[in-house]
Amino acid sequence: MNEQPPADPPALRLLGTLTLAGALAGLLLVVVNGWAEPRIMAHRAEVLREAIQEVLGGPERYETLFLVDGRLTAAPPADADTLKMDRIYAGYDAEGRSIGLAISGGEPGFQDVIRLLFGFDPTTGRITGMKVLESKETPGLGDKIEKDSSFVAEFAGPAPPLIGVKSGSGSGDENEVDMITGATISSRTVIDIINHRLEELEPYLLRIEGDAP
């Protein structure tokens, strides 16, 4: 511990060392990312596919519709960046009849943004299901929006616009959803996301009914 501090090395050497180290670190990360990224994307696609199956009650196949120039279309212009476009997923049964639309949405909940997917059947005007894709809600309380099966089951069948009611105090109206005791904000966020997204997309949803294949 009693070595003399060495004379100051030239600044160039300090810069050089750190630059070289940074470049090597960058190279390593490029290699690892090249390996990991396809797996991460595949997992995300798988999660979305499962969620679409769940909220639409098992469609035979589904199609991605992009919102381009105020119109929902399955074939966006070739030069457009589809990653940035708003989109919905249209599910069809074995005979090719439309059985509903899966719509994703996200809004701030109690802790962080809640992202979810819900199914909507434009012919009956009812919600067919809801699945939380991402949430950091409080474990044991707010995370019941995804883990409490009776809350999730509330979203099979109600008619929008949804109204959240205190559990057990509803009048049995078809647009009522029982909220979770102790997780009012998280429950209300789920309901709000669905209402806001439907409100926002309503003009376009009516138009695809006419265009339906």
Is residue 74 at the binding interface for other proteins, with CB under 8 A as the rule?
no
Give the C-alpha separation, 72 to 105, whole Å: 16
- Measuring CA to CA, which residue among 64, 66, 70 is closest to residue 204? 70
The least distance separating other proteins from the CB of residue 169, rounded to whole angstroms, comes to 24
Residues 106-145 that bind other proteins (CB under 8 A): 134, 136, 138-141
Min dist. Cβ of residue 111 to other proteins (A): 10
Cα gap 209→58, rounded to integer Å: 20
Sign of the C-alpha dihedral computed for residues 170, 162, 112 and 30 taken in this order: positive
The size of the interface with other proteins (CB under 8 A), counted in residues, is 29
Comparing CA positions, the residue from 136, 74, 82 lying closest to residue 111 is 136
Q: How far is the CB of 67 from other proteins (least distance, A)?
A: 28
Residue with Cβ nearer other proteins (12 or 94): 12
Site string for other proteins, 15-54 (x = CB under 8 A): --xx--xx--x--xx--xx-xxx-xx--x---x-------
Cis peptide before 161 (omega within 30 of 0): yes
Give the tokens for residue 135: 């949430």
Give contact residues for other proteins (rule: CB under 8 A). 1, 5-6, 8-9, 13-14, 17-18, 21-22, 25, 28-29, 32-33, 35-37, 39-40, 43, 47, 134, 136, 138-141
